[in-house]
C-alpha cells in the first residue's frame, strides 16, 4: 500500500473523456467539493484551500475508440480524441468525518453523471484509520470463521440450498441432514429464500439448526449455516436473535438490499459470522465504464462488518472474467489499514458453477486456501451422490495443494475421477 | 396501467443477447426462482408450478450491432445476430412476501450477471398492493409539501446552499436569511454537507431554522429547509429529532447511501417531509444496458416513504437526455397502485443547471406545476441579485403557464430579461 496522508480520503477512478485529462479531473474534484457551475459568493480562496478535493495523480491509458456511455459532451474545437486515464482524487476527512454513508455521496455521488465523461468508474478507495472509530470491521473474518467451523489448512467446502425457493422447512432440514452427513463444512440459503409464507424463517432455521446441533453432538463437527436474514431492520434483528437462540453460527445478508447503516447495526448486535451476499453487484460492477469495482465495494462492507463475501469463481457461469475474480479475492484478504490498525480481512467466497475442476487454478492464482469454496450442482449433481461430491472437492484441493495434476490424482481417487468425467478437467 | 394479477410481482427488462429471446428469458426466470445450472433432486414439477417465475411477454426491438457489456456468451452455431427486447417476468408474491429488500434480490439480483446477456437493465416494476401493509409510502407528497410551504398553483422555487461544503453554520444561516428575504420557497443542503466538524449538523440546523422561524413570524411565509440527515441510523434519528424540535419541516437523505430498510424507519419516525436525493444514481442508471432505470428505482423509494425526489432537469449539466428527465418526473406523479389504494405520488425535483430559460419547456412537457424547481447559479448568479434571481423564475413560470414566449414576457419584466441575457433564452 502506498503511503497516504491519514487525514485524507483517496479514490481512484477510470475516466473516459473528450476533454483534456487535467481539466476533466479538476471538474470532478470541483463538483465533489466546493464547486458549482457558476462561481458563487462565499467560495473564497481560503475556503477552497481547506475543503477542495485535490487531484493527486493522472495516469493516461490507451484512448477509447467510441464513447462507452451516452450523453457526454465534447469541448469546443475538439480534436476527436477520447482520452482514458486512472485518476486519483483526495478529500480532507474533515469534509464529512468518518461516515460511510456520507463517504458514498462524496466518492460515488453525482460525479458519475458529469457531462465531460463518457465513462467513469470508481476503482478503489483508501480511507483514514479514523473510520475504525465508527465502524467495527469484521468480527470473525478468516481466523474466526475457521475456528467456528473447525476447518484449518484447506478451503471451507460449502454449498447452497437448492432449489433456490419453494422447499418446505422440513425438506430443507432433510437436505441439510444429507449434506452434513456428506461432510460439508458450510451451507447457505439461496438469496431468493428469506421469510416467505411457504418457508418461514424461524421454522426453517429451527429445523435446520436442530439437525446441525444433533450432527455436532454426534460427530463433534459443527457445520456453519448462513441463514438469510435479509429484510427490514426489525425483522433482521429478530431473525439474528433466533439464529443465536438456536446456537447457529452465521447469518447471511444481501448487501445491496440492506444498505451500509443497517449492516453497521447488525454487526453491533451479532454474535455470529456475517455472510455478505453481493447479489445485484452486476448492476454497479459489470460495466467497465460505469459504477464501482468490487475492490472498492468490498472495502465499504468490510468496514461495516461482514466476515465473508462473494467473488464469483474461475470459469463461473456469470460474465466476470477470471482476472477480476482473483483481484476481488485478493482484495478481501489484503489489510485495509496500515498496522497496527485492524486490517479487516474477510473470507472470499468462490461460487457460481464451481466444481473440482477449478481448484488447482484457484489455488495457483490465489496462493492460499483461505476461502469458502461453494458448489451447488458441483456437489449435488455428483453421479456417486452428495458425499462423493464433497469428497471430490477435498481431493481436488489436496491435489492442488500438492501441485499434482487433477487427472493424475484422479487415477487413485474415484470421486474426483467421476467429477472430472462429469464436469470436465 | 395494464391489469395485473395482484398476487404477482412484475418486472420489465431491456435485454440484449446472442441467444434466442425465448430461451434467454426462460434463463432469467429460472435463475431468479427455482433453477440452478443442473437440475437437482427436489425441483419437482409441482414446486416449479407454484414458485417458478413466469415469462409474461417478450417484445423484440432492433438488434444491437455490438455487445454493450463484456463477458457474455454465444450459443453453438450462433447466427451472429444480437437480439434486443423488452421482457416482462412475474413472480408469485408468496416467494418472498411484501419485502422491499427481498424484492431487490429477486428482481435486481444475480440476473444482471447472467452469461447469456450482453445487456440487461431493469426498466420498471409493478408491485402487489400488499406491499402497502408493510410500507407507508409518502407522508406528505405533493399536496402535503404544498401545504407545508404555502405555495399553490405554481412550482415551489428552490435552491441549494453553495459552496457545497466548507461554510460555517453562521455563514450558512446568513445565506439562508438572504435567500428567505429574496422570496425563496425551499432551500436544501448540498449532499456533500452533512455533519463535518467544521459545520456540525445541530449547530447549522439550529441557526438556519431560527432564521426561517423569524422570517415566518415576520412575513407569515414558512420557507422549507431540507437539512441533510444522511448518516448512520442513530445519527439520522437524532438529527431528525433535532429538526423537529426546532420546528423544521423537511429532512434530506441520500437514498443510495442509506438503503431502503433505513428509509422505512425514518419514515416511521418522521413528522417532516423527506427529500430523497438520488446522488449516485448515475452508477446504476446511466448505462442503457446495465443497472436500473429511475422509473423502477423511484417506486422502491416512494413505497419506503420519500416525499420528493430528484429527476435532473431539461438541458441539465449532467448526461441525462431530456426525454428521460420527463419520463422520471411523470413516473413520480403517477399512482403506483390502482385506486382505492394509496397512489404514493411524490414531488419531482428539477435541478442541475436550471434557470428561467427551461421553465416553458418543462411546463409543456410535464403539463403541471407540481414540482420543485431548484436553481443554484440560476438564482445566486443573477446579475441583479438573489431576489431578482428568484423573481426571474416566478416570471418565467408565469409566462410558461400563460403560454407567452419568455422573450415577450421579458420585455415588461426586467428580472427575467436579465436572466435570459445571462443564461440564454
CATH number of the domain at A92, please.
Answer: 3.30.70.150
Strand order in the sheet with A117-126: A54-64, A82-92, A8-17, A117-126
pLDDT for A148: 98
B216 touching A (Cβ < 8 Å): no
Domain count, chain A: 2
Q: Are residues B212 and B329 in the same domain?
A: yes
Q: Is pLDDT at B1 greater than 80 in this prediction?
A: no
CA distance A414 to B378: 75
Strand order in the sheet with B8-17: B54-64, B82-92, B8-17, B117-126
Q: Is pLDDT at A158 greater than 90 in this prediction?
A: yes
Phi then psi for A338, rounded to 5 degrees? Answer: -65, 145
* DSSP-derived pairing of the beta strands A273-277 and B224-228: unpaired
From the list A92, A131, A107, A122, the residue with the least C-alpha distance to A5 is: A92
pLDDT for A43: 64
User: What domain range is A226 assigned to?
Assistant: 141-423
pLDDT for B37: 46
Asked if the bond preceding A319 is cis, omega within 30° of 0, the reply is no
Q: Are residues B173 and B40 in the same domain?
A: no
Q: Are residues B128 and B184 in the same domain?
A: no
If pLDDT is split at 50, 70 and 90, which confidence band does A41 have? low
**Least reliable range by pLDDT among A184-188, A354-358, B3-7, B75-79:** B3-7
Cβ-nearest to A102 among B257, B264, B381: B257
Domain boundary among A110, A133, A156: A133
Q: Are residues B287 and B348 in the same domain?
A: yes
If pLDDT is split at 50, 70 and 90, which confidence band does A169 have? very high
Q: Is pLDDT at B38 greater than 70 in this prediction?
A: no
Q: How many residues in chain A?
A: 425
pLDDT per residue over A97-127, tens digit each? 999 999 999 999 999 999 999 999 999 999 9
pLDDT for A425: 60
From the list A331, A291, A232, A320, the residue with the least C-alpha distance to A13 is: A291
Contact B259 A261 (CB under 8 A): yes
Share of chain B above pLDDT 90, in %: 89
| Closest residue in B to A236 (Cα–Cα) | B261
pLDDT for B42: 62
pLDDT per residue over B242-288, tens digit each? 999 999 999 999 999 999 999 999 999 999 999 999 999 999 999 99
Q: Are residues B256 and B308 in the same domain?
A: yes
pLDDT per residue over A233-245, tens digit each? 999 999 999 999 9
* DSSP-derived pairing of the beta strands A156-160 and A117-126: unpaired
If pLDDT is split at 50, 70 and 90, which confidence band does A2 have? low
- Residue B38 inside a domain? The answer is yes
If pLDDT is split at 50, 70 and 90, which confidence band does A45 have? confident
A202 touching B (Cβ < 8 Å): no
From the list A209, A204, A275, the residue with the least C-alpha distance to A246 is: A209
- Residue B2 inside a domain? The answer is no
Note whether A359 and A410 are within 8 A (CB).
no
Three-state SS sequence of chain A: CCCCCCCEEEEEEEEEECCCHHHHHHHHHHHCCCCCCCCCCCCCHHHHHHHCCEEEEEEEEEEECCCCCCCCCCCCCCCCCEEEEEEEEEEEHHHCCCCHHHHHHHHCCHHHHECCEEEEEEEEEECCHHHHHCCCCCCCHHHHHHHHHCCCCCCEEEEECCCCCCCCHHHHHHHHHHHHHCCCCEEECCCCCCCCCCCCHHHHHHHHHHHHHHHHHHHCCCCEEEEECCCCHHHHHHHHHHHHHCCCCEEEEEHHHHCHHHHHHHHHHCCCEEEEECCCHHHHHCCCCCCECHHHHHHHHHHHCCCEEECCCCCCCECCCHHHHHHHHHHHCCCCCCCCCCCCCCEEEECCCCCHHHHHHHHHHHCCCCCEEECCHHHHCCCCCHHHHHHHHHHHHHHHHCCCCHHHHHCCCHHHHHHHHHHCC
Contact A163 B319 (CB under 8 A): no
Element (H, E) at B117: strand B117-126
Note whether A258 and B257 are within 8 A (CB).
no
Q: Is pLDDT at B44 greater than 90 in this prediction?
A: no
The chain-wide mean pLDDT, for chain B, equals 95
- Residue A2 inside a domain? The answer is no
Q: Are residues B223 and B269 in the same domain?
A: yes
Q: What is the mean pLDDT of residues B56-66?
A: 97
Note whether A351 and A363 are within 8 A (CB).
no
Q: Are residues A180 and A203 in the same domain?
A: yes
- CA distances to B21, B224, B325, B353 from B394, rounded to whole Å, are 51, 17, 22, 17
* Burial bucket for residue A103 (CB in 10 Å: 0-12, 13-18, 19+): buried
If pLDDT is split at 50, 70 and 90, which confidence band does B49 have? confident
From the list A66, A58, A72, the residue with the least C-alpha distance to A23 is: A58
Q: What is the mean pLDDT of residues A88-97?
A: 96
Contact B163 A288 (CB under 8 A): no
Note whether A259 and B231 are within 8 A (CB).
no
If pLDDT is split at 50, 70 and 90, which confidence band does A46 have? confident
> Which CATH number is B318's domain given?
3.20.20.110
- Residue B86 inside a domain? The answer is yes
Q: What is the mean pLDDT of residues B391-416?
A: 98
Q: Is pLDDT at B356 greater than 80 in this prediction?
A: yes
Q: Which of B257, B351, B355, B422 to mutate to test the interface with A (most CBs of A within 10 A)?
A: B257
If pLDDT is split at 50, 70 and 90, which confidence band does A164 have? confident
- Residue B19 inside a domain? The answer is yes
Contact A194 B376 (CB under 8 A): no
Q: What is the mean pLDDT of residues A376-401?
A: 95
Which of the 8 DSSP states describes residue B155? P
Q: Are residues A205 and A119 in the same domain?
A: no
Domain boundary among B133, B167, B189: B133
The chain-wide mean pLDDT, for chain A, equals 95
B424 touching A (Cβ < 8 Å): no
From the list A340, A343, A333, the residue with the least C-alpha distance to A303 is: A343
Q: How many residues in chain B?
A: 425
If pLDDT is split at 50, 70 and 90, which confidence band does A37 have? very low
pLDDT for B377: 85
pLDDT for B40: 57
Q: Are residues A42 and A58 in the same domain?
A: yes
Q: Are residues A264 and A165 in the same domain?
A: yes
Tell me which chain A residues have a C-beta less than 8 angstroms from the C-beta of B376: 36-38, 40
Contact A109 B48 (CB under 8 A): no
Contact A381 B175 (CB under 8 A): no
If pLDDT is split at 50, 70 and 90, which confidence band does B39 have? low
Tell me which chain A residues have a C-beta less than 8 angstroms from the C-beta of B35: 163-164
- Residue B3 inside a domain? The answer is no
Q: What is the mean pLDDT of residues B317-334?
A: 96
What is the C-alpha radius of gyration for chain B, rounded to an integer number of angstroms? 24
Of the ranges A381-385, B43-47, B181-185, the best mean pLDDT one = B181-185
Give the bridge partners for A186, in sequence order.
A158, A224
pLDDT for A40: 56
Q: Are residues A170 and A240 in the same domain?
A: yes
Q: Are residues B336 and B385 in the same domain?
A: yes
- Residue B230 inside a domain? The answer is yes
ipTM of the complex in this document: 0.96
Contact B71 A318 (CB under 8 A): yes
CA distance B170 to B175: 9
- Residue A1 inside a domain? The answer is no
Distance from CA of B411 to the nearest CA of A (A): 26
Domain boundary among A133, A166, A197: A133
**Least reliable range by pLDDT among A283-297, B163-177, B291-305:** B163-177
CA distance B9 to B91: 5
**Least reliable range by pLDDT among A192-196, B41-45, B390-394:** B41-45
Tell me which chain B residues have a C-beta less than 8 angstroms from the C-beta of A48: 166
CA distance B153 to A112: 35
If pLDDT is split at 50, 70 and 90, which confidence band does B48 have? confident
Contact B99 A166 (CB under 8 A): no
Amino acid at each position: 500500500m502506498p503511503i497516504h496522508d491519514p487525514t485524507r480520503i483517496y479514490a481512484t477512478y477510470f475516466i473516459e473523456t473528450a476533454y483534456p485529462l487535467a481539466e476533466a479531473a479538476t471538474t470532478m474534484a470541483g463538483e465533489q467539493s466546493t464547486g458549482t457551475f457558476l462561481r458563487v459568493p462565499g467560495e473564497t480562496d481560503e475556503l477552497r484551500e481547506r475543503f477542495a478535493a485535490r487531484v493527486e495523480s493522472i495516469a493516461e491509458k490507451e484512448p477509447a475508440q467510441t464513447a462507452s456511455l451516452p450523453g457526454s459532451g465534447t469541448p469546443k474545437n475538439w480534436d476527436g480524441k477520447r482520452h482514458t486515464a486512472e485518476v486519483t482524487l483526495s478529500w480532507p476527512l474533515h469534509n464529512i468525518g468518518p461516515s460511510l454513508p456520507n463517504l458514498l455521496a462524496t466518492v460515488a455521488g453525482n460525479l458519475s453523471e458529469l457531462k465531460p465523461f463518457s465513462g467513469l468508474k470508481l476503482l478503489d478507495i483508501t480511507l483514514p484509520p479514523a473510520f475504525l472509530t465508527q465502524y467495527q470491521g469484521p468480527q470473525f473474518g478468516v481466523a474466526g470463521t475457521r475456528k467456528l467451523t473447525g476447518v484449518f489448512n484447506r478451503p471451507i467446502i460449502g454449498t447452497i440450498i437448492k432449489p433456490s425457493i419453494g422447499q418446505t422447512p422440513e425438506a430443507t432440514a432433510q437436505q441439510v441432514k444429507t449434506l452434513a452427513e456428506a461432510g460439508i463444512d458450510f451451507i447457505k440459503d439461496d438469496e431468493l429464500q428469506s421469510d416467505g409464507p411457504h418457508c418461514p424463517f424461524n421454522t426453517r432455521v429451527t429445523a435446520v439448526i436442530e439437525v446441525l446441533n444433533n450432527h455436532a453432538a454426534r460427530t463433534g463437527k459443527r457445520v456453519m449455516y448462513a441463514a438469510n436474514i435479509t429484510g427490514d431492520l426489525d425483522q433482521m434483528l429478530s431473525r439474528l436473535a433466533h439464529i443465536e437462540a438456536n446456537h447457529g453460527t452465521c447469518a447471511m445478508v444481501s448487501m445491496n438490499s440492506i444498505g451500509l447503516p443497517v449492516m453497521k447495526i447488525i454487526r453491533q448486535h451479532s454474535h455470529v459470522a456475517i455472510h455478505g451476499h453481493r447479489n445485484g453487484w452486476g448492476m454497479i460492477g459489470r460495466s467497465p465504464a460505469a459504477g464501482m469495482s468490487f475492490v472498492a465495494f468490498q472495502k465499504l462492507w468490510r468496514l461495516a462488518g461482514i466476515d465473508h463475501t462473494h467473488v464469483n469463481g474461475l470459469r463461473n457461469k456469470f460474465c466476470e472474467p477470471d482476472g477480476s475474480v482473483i483481484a476481488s479475492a485478493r482484495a478481501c484478504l489484503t489489510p485495509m489499514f496500515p498496522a497496527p490498525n485492524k486490517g479487516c480481512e474477510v473470507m472470499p467466497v468462490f461460487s457460481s458453477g464451481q466444481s473440482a475442476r477449478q481448484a488447482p487454478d484457484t489455488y495457483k492464482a490465489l496462493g492460499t486456501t483461505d476461502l469458502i469454496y461453494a458448489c451447488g450442482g458441483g456437489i449435488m449433481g455428483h453421479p456417486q451422490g452428495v458425499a462423493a461430491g464433497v469428497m471430490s472437492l477435498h481431493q481436488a484441493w489436496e491435489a492442488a495443494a500438492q501441485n499434482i495434476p487433477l487427472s493424475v490424482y484422479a487415477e487413485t481417487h474415484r470421486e474426483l475421477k467421476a467429477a472430472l468425467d462429469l464436469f470436465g478437467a
